[in-house]
Amino acid sequence: MSQISTRIVPPLTLGVCSWSLQVTSVDELKRLLGTLGVTATQIACGDPHHASWSEGDAMPEAALASGLTLTGAMLGFPGEDYTTPQTIQATGGFGDPATRPERLERLAWGLDRTLALGLTDLTLHAGFLPESGEPGRKSMLDTLAKAGQMAADKGVTLAFETGQESALLLRLTLDELKSPSIKVNFDPANMLLYDMGDPIHAIEILGPDIRSVHVKDARRPTIPGQWGEEVPLGLGEVDIHRFVRTLKGVGYTGPLVIEREVGDQAGRLIDVKHGLEFLRKCLEEPVESDDAVPRVHNSEQPRV
């Protein structure tokens, strides 16, 4: 098993999610990142949704030999269905009690692959979190606590991705779990796609636990119960300029990794290149005094 990487990643390093480039090999990933002018990537462990690797079990060795800067790993679960918000609620993460045992086994595999990649960070979707007092909340939190302990035993930090729940509910859940190995992978667009609050306010709520960031833009759904629309950076409702300034304002210094999940490979490359140029301009802007002023969305109020 690989030793943990000691490579220092500079603050606010720009990168790209490997699965956003729809690559099938580490060589292809390195080539496309080269055309984009970056070397940093959050890399998919290898699953049907976030890229299967032609290298198979030799992928970690190939990735480590590539010279790329790996910012973290990403794990998806077979059977997750993102067709609609309703299908992913039923199939995502650890939400379904029937699939929890096999997914904890898959997590164990993902933790080992994370270590084989020389990494200490693994991102995943935990699944929809029941509200406080709802049936199933205790069993869900017990499962997440077990996942956190599995990660802690391996020296890995789990970063749950935002989106399915309000920032307030995620904050409550983190506080109840009290697991130092469970943090947040912050995706502002997911909050809009699910219509779950204002991403800027969410940074204030989750700031101390934001471990990594997917930079993505979107518009809220126009029809309740349907997906919002993912769009190139700067064309959506996130307000990426303010988003970046607010992250800096709460002291975030981790990587800024672009995720693009719409379109074919050629279109994604164009959008990611635009996104990197856009982000570089955003990073040049100074933090403003009103960047952290909350803009509370009605979905941030606890449901009763």
pLDDT single digits (tens) 140-172: 999 999 999 999 999 999 999 999 999 999 999
Is pLDDT larger for residue 131 or for residue 292? 131
Residue type, 6: T
CATH of domain 14-300: 3.20.20.150
Question: Which pair of tokens denotes residue 268?
Answer: 């994604």
Residue type, 268: R
Question: Which pair of tokens denotes residue 60?
Answer: 């970690």
Say what the pLDDT of residue 292 is. 53
Give Rg (Cα) of the chain: 18
Contact 217, 231 (CB under 8 A): yes
Say what the pLDDT of residue 7 is. 62
Among 269, 301, 235, 233, which Cα is nearest to 31's? Answer: 269
Task: Report if pTM > 0.85.
Answer: yes
Indicate the average pLDDT of the chain: 93
> Which helix H or strand E contains 27, and what residues bound it?
helix 26-36
Per residue in 203-260, pLDDT tens? Answer: 999 999 999 999 999 999 999 999 999 999 999 999 999 999 999 999 999 999 999 9
